[in-house]
Amino acid sequence: MNNLSFKTGVETYLSILIIAMNAFLAVVAVGAFLALIGIV
């Protein structure tokens, strides 16, 4: 039971980490896009 709970916690942590990375990449992409428009 404890092992199952630990496995679920790790999967939840990884999913949150992936979502956070995707959000960060989206912000970086938007920032780079706005910077290119600003340069042009």
Provide the strand spans (E) within 1-40. none
Structure-block tokens of residue 31: 């920032």
Tokens 């679920």 sit on residue: 8
What six digits make up the tokens of 7?
């496995």
| pLDDT of amino acid 1 | 56
pLDDT, average across residues 10-37 = 95
Share above pLDDT 90 across residues of the chain, in percent, rounded to a whole number: 70
pTM for this structure?
Answer: 0.63
Total tally of structural domains belonging to the chain:
1
Its domain, for residue 27, covers 1-39
